[in-house]
Every structure is written in structure tokens, then in C-alpha cells.
Chain A
């Protein structure tokens, strides 16, 4: 299957700092990628759709100025959590679809804000 990487796999940061998470499709090109957040024992929540060459589309209730998304190339999307707070601590996952609509997920980034 297709491979999607994410970096870093985990990060601990202080409240008020910003954290950048990278999502890469390693063996295919992805004009679209998706970013999710998952709190413990809860389901995946789609945060935004990252579009190569254009602005991201955010789901209702997700602050676009707080979660900055940049789709720099056909294989890279980044999510920056700005001015992080403890309530932003979560598991952040990205995915990229193949033309067949199968989604391949990155391994996730566990963010802890202290």
C-alpha cells in the first residue's frame, strides 16, 4: 500500500509556543491531504482539507488562524498549531487519498502542551 509519513511522532511543548507537524506522501503525489485530531477514546475528527496550491478548507469550529495549514508541494502538507495551549494536546493524524479514494494515514503526532 501507499506510505504516508508524519514528523515528529511526538512533541512536548510549552504553552504559548507553536508546533509544526509535517505530513508527506512518500510514493505517490497527493493534491489533497486531510488533517484530523483524536482525543483519547474518541473518534477521529476531521479538522481541515489541505489543498496543494490553494487555501485549506476548514471544518466548522476549527480556527484557521490557530491551525495553519500549508500544502507546499504535491507530497508535503504542514500543520502548525500556533500559540498552543494544554487543551490542544491531542493525537494529530494526516491522511492522503489515492485516486481510488482509499485513504492512507500517517502514523500520527502526539502533542502534549504543558
Chain B
């Protein structure tokens, strides 16, 4: 079983919609979690860190639930430019990142 699991999608939503992605992890020793965005044929770029208290950056909200071992990302008011693959990442004390396979989001007009 992969250590970080994500629904690969694709999630196909209209502009303006709210969409949520979940990610589960199996390694309870994982300390830090992040969401990355990867566009086609590009490198992943850090979108936001994920904290137990939840954090918000504009239209994006991330949440970590350690008890249930899942991470979520909520995107409000989707834009066409939000179309990308969203990667969930966990790291432990060794800094070695564990990636989910990514969730594909397609925002259409």
C-alpha cells in the first residue's frame, strides 16, 4: 500500500465551483505535510503547507487531521488557471518526501 494515497481524478468542475481533494497517509511518523501544484511538463511548485490548525491562503484552504491521518485541500471560486495536478506530500525527520500520485483538476468555462 502506498504511503500517501490520493484520488487521481480527474476532477472536472466549472469555473466558480468549490472543489475539495483529500489525501490519506499511512506513516504516523510523518511530521510535515504540503500541497504542491504541478502543471503539465513542469516541476512541482509549493502551494501551501498544511497545519493541524488549518491554514488559508486566498481561495485555498488546507487542513491536517492527524487522528484520521488525512490532509485536505479546498479550492473556492475555481479559475481556469487552477487546472493542474495537485500533489500531497508528507515528510518525516529524514526530510525524505513521500508523494501521492497527484489529483488532476480540470476547470472548464
Q: Interface of A with B (CB < 8 Å)?
A: 1, 32, 34, 43-44, 46, 49, 91, 93, 95, 97, 100-108, 110
- Contact: B97 with A34, CB < 8 Å? yes
CB neighbours (8 Å) of B99 from chain A are: 43-44, 46
CB neighbours (8 Å) of A103 from chain B are: 34, 36, 44, 46, 89, 91, 97
Rounded to whole angstroms, the CA-CA distance of A108 and B39 in the bound complex is 12
Closest B residue to A91 by CB, please name it.
Answer: B41
The size bracket of the interface on B is: 20 to 34
Closest A residue to B33 by CB, please name it.
Answer: A101
- Contact: A49 with B96, CB < 8 Å? yes
CB neighbours (8 Å) of A1 from chain B are: 46
Q: Which secondary structure dominates chain A's binding surface?
A: strand
Rounded to whole angstroms, the CA-CA distance of A104 and B44 in the bound complex is 8
Known pairs A32-B95, A43-B99; A102 contacts B43 (CB<8 A): no
The answer to whether the Cβ of B87 comes within 8 Å of any Cβ in the partner chain is yes
The answer to whether the Cβ of B32 comes within 8 Å of any Cβ in the partner chain is yes
The answer to whether the Cβ of B79 comes within 8 Å of any Cβ in the partner chain is no
Which 9 A-B residue pairings sit nearest by Cβ, starting from the closest? A101-B32, A43-B101, A105-B43, A101-B91, A97-B95, A108-B43, A44-B99, A105-B44, A93-B43
Q: Interface of B with A (CB < 8 Å)?
A: 31-32, 34, 36, 41-46, 49, 87, 89, 91, 95-97, 99-102
- What 6 additional pairs, Cβ within 8 angstroms, besides A44-B87, A104-B46? A95-B97, A97-B91, A101-B95, A102-B46, A103-B44, A107-B43
Q: How far is the CB of B104 from chain A (nearest CB, A)?
A: 9
Q: How far is the CB of A62 from chain B (nearest CB, A)?
A: 14
Rounded to whole angstroms, the CA-CA distance of A52 and B44 in the bound complex is 23
Contact of B102 among A32, A43, A49, A100 (CB under 8 A): A43
Contact of B96 among A34, A43, A105, A107 (CB under 8 A): A34
Q: How far is the CB of A5 from chain B (nearest CB, A)?
A: 11
Rounded to whole angstroms, the CA-CA distance of A59 and B42 in the bound complex is 23
Q: How far is the CB of B99 from chain A (nearest CB, A)?
A: 5
